[in-house]
């Protein structure tokens, strides 16, 4: 590594090499979205809208048009967002761990090992951002209580005026910093936990140290990684589009119009054009882009045709999440390298030179077998 921004150019290649990072990241997205989908459908159900109506309005992607009208429905929706967010963070930590171990030279670090690693780091991944969230919420609650005191006639406004500078304004500035660090934690958590194997306290401390001591590198690298992720999705989507054209050309030459009608029906299971269009253009508002060779025609396919369209639609949705998973994998790999670079400039320590605290599993097994075999001889000698 060069330990500068040039290292980030490795992220698109690392994201797709061996495929294990991409599979883990896509699995995390699918798992998180499945939970979000169920909870959002429940939110609409408690809002008085039937499952059938929700399906007709949104299909598999109820990600817009919210108007629940009750706090219970809104709570289910927010729980769905939280589930999707933290599931993605959890699996991103596994991707960061694989990236870190491979950068250290262990090219055979497996997906199974990374998943075992994150099982023991559930608290760090989840509770670290939540600590900042609850701290921010506590400051807001304190502010509302002070506001209630300020409603007292005559004395209330005088009391508020006296404490407006100190502590109200000072605490408000700290609250803004906590809010900034909280949103930064959603980016930093996988890299910090994946490289340092840190607990909750150390992870939260790393948030503040990184944002406060290296803001230029942190935000600059995050911006570069976002650009690489968007370009990666754009390029991979272009290859997917050409693959669909090849299927349409090769299979359609014999299957004929039936393939067109089934593909058009299957395409309807994907998000609307307002969402997919963001990924099929080079950047928002750009004229550089491409479109897929399908239209949303409504035709009577019969039972078998409808079932075939459903199965192909689920496959298309999986491919769509694979595309998103590649972009998120690029971002996670880039952020992991960015954190290693930032840590070296901040602490003057190369994290890639750190030795693993635990011994390799094969060595432990061999050592255990040696002890079992020599134990009887040792007893005889004694």
What pLDDT was estimated at residue 378? 55
Q: Is the pLDDT of residue 332 over 50?
A: yes
Query: Can you read off the two tokens belonging to residue 313?
Result: 């639609």
- Report how far apart, in Å, the C-alpha atoms of 279 and of each of 188, 242, 377 are: 24, 15, 68
Regarding predicted confidence, which is higher, 64 or 158? 158
Q: Is the pLDDT of residue 183 over 50?
A: yes
Q: Is the pLDDT of residue 302 over 90?
A: no
Band of pLDDT at residue 365, cut at 50, 70 and 90: very low
Say how many C-beta atoms besides its own lie within 10 A of residue 151's C-beta: 9
Q: Of the given ranges (23-27, 45-49, 338-342), which has the lowest mean pLDDT?
A: 45-49
Distance CA 191, CA 337 (A): 8
What pLDDT was estimated at residue 362? 46
Q: What mean pLDDT comes out for the span 227-250?
A: 92
Band of pLDDT at residue 145, cut at 50, 70 and 90: very high
What pLDDT was estimated at residue 355? 79
Tell me what the pLDDT averaged over the chain comes to: 88
Regarding predicted confidence, which is higher, 357 or 77? 77
Distance CA 50, CA 41 (A): 9
Distance CA 227, CA 279 (A): 12
Burial 50-80 (b: 16+ CB within 10 A, else e): eeeebeeebebbbeeeeebeeeebbebbebb
What pLDDT was estimated at residue 380? 54
DSSP 351: G
Q: Of the given ranges (60-74, 181-195, 221-235), which has the lowest mean pLDDT?
A: 60-74
C-alpha dihedral over 231, 236, 237, 238, to 10 degrees? 90
Q: How many helices (H) and strands (E) would you count in the chain?
A: 15, 0
What pLDDT was estimated at residue 294? 63
What pLDDT was estimated at residue 297? 57
Q: Is the pLDDT of residue 293 over 70?
A: no
Q: Is the pLDDT of residue 127 over 90?
A: yes
Q: Is the pLDDT of residue 363 over 70?
A: no
Among 336, 330, 322, smallest CA distance to 102 is for 336
For residue 174, what are the contacts with CB-CB under 8 A and spacing of at least 6? Answer: 139
For residue 169, what are the contacts with CB-CB under 8 A and spacing of at least 6? Answer: none
Name the 3-class secondary structure at 281.
Answer: strand
What pLDDT was estimated at residue 65? 77
What is the domain partition of the chain in residue ranges? 5-366
Among 160, 168, 209, smallest CA distance to 185 is for 209
DSSP 3: S
Q: Of the given ranges (44-58, 296-310, 344-358), which has the lowest mean pLDDT?
A: 296-310
Q: Is the pLDDT of residue 299 over 70?
A: no
What pLDDT was estimated at residue 260? 84
Residue with tokens 């934690």: 185
Band of pLDDT at residue 370, cut at 50, 70 and 90: very low
Distance CA 142, CA 178 (A): 15
Q: What is the chain's length?
A: 382
Burial 130-147 (b: 16+ CB within 10 A, else e): bbbeebbeebeeeeeebe
Name the 3-class secondary structure at 289.
Answer: strand
For residue 339, what are the contacts with CB-CB under 8 A and spacing of at least 6? Answer: 188, 191, 192, 195, 210
Distance CA 251, CA 136 (A): 57
Band of pLDDT at residue 231, cut at 50, 70 and 90: very high
Q: What mean pLDDT comes out for the span 246-272?
A: 86
Q: Of the given ranges (53-57, 167-171, 275-279), which has the lowest mean pLDDT?
A: 275-279
Q: Is the pLDDT of residue 187 over 90?
A: yes
What pLDDT was estimated at residue 374? 52
Band of pLDDT at residue 291, cut at 50, 70 and 90: confident
Angle between helices 200-213 and 302-347 (to 10 degrees): 70
Band of pLDDT at residue 364, cut at 50, 70 and 90: very low
Band of pLDDT at residue 368, cut at 50, 70 and 90: low
Name the 3-class secondary structure at 282.
Answer: coil
Q: Is the pLDDT of residue 198 over 50?
A: yes
What pLDDT was estimated at residue 88? 95
């Amino acid at each position: 590594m060069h330990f500068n921004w040039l290292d980030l150019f490795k992220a698109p290649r690392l994201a797709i090499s061996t495929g294990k990072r991409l599979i883990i990241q896509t699995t995390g997205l699918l798992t998180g979205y499945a939970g979000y989908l169920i909870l959002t459908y429940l939110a609409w159900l408690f809002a008085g809208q039937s499952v059938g109506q929700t399906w007709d309005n949104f299909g598999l992607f109820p990600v817009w048009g919210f108007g629940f009208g009750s706090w219970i429905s809104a709570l289910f929706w927010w729980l769905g967002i939280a589930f999707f967010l933290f599931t993605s963070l959890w699996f991103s930590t596994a991707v960061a761990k694989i990236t870190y171990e491979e950068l250290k030279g262990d090219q055979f670090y497996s997906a199974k090992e990374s998943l075992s690693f994150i099982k023991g780091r559930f608290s760090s991944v989840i509770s670290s951002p939540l600590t900042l969230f609850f701290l921010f919420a506590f400051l807001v609650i304190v502010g509302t209580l002070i506001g209630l005191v300020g409603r007292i006639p005559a004395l209330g406004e005088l009391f508020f005026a006296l404490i407006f500078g100190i502590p109200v304004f000072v605490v408000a500035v700290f609250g803004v910093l906590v809010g900034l660090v909280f949103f930064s934690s959603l980016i930093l958590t996988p890299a910090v936990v994946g490289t340092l194997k840190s607990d909750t306290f150390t992870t939260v401390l790393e948030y503040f140290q990184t944002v406060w001591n290296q803001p230029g590198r942190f935000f600059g690298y995050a911006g570069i990684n976002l650009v690489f992720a968007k370009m990666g999705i754009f390029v991979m989507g272009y290859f997917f589009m050409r693959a669909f054209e090849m299927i349409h050309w090769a299979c359609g030459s014999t299957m004929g119009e039936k393939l067109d009608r089934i593909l058009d029906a299957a395409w309807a299971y994907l998000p609307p054009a307002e969402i997919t269009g963001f990924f099929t253009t080079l950047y928002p508002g750009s004229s550089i882009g491409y479109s897929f060779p399908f239209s949303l025609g409504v035709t009577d396919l019969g039972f078998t045709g409808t079932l075939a369209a459903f199965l192909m639609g689920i496959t298309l949705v999986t491919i769509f999440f694979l595309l998103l998973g590649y972009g998120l994998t690029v971002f996670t790999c880039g952020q992991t390298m960015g954190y290693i670079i930032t840590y070296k400039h901040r602490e003057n320590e190369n994290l890639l030179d750190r030795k693993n605290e635990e011994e390799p599993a094969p060595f432990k097994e061999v050592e255990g077998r040696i002890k079992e075999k020599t134990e009887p001889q040792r007893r005889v000698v004694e």
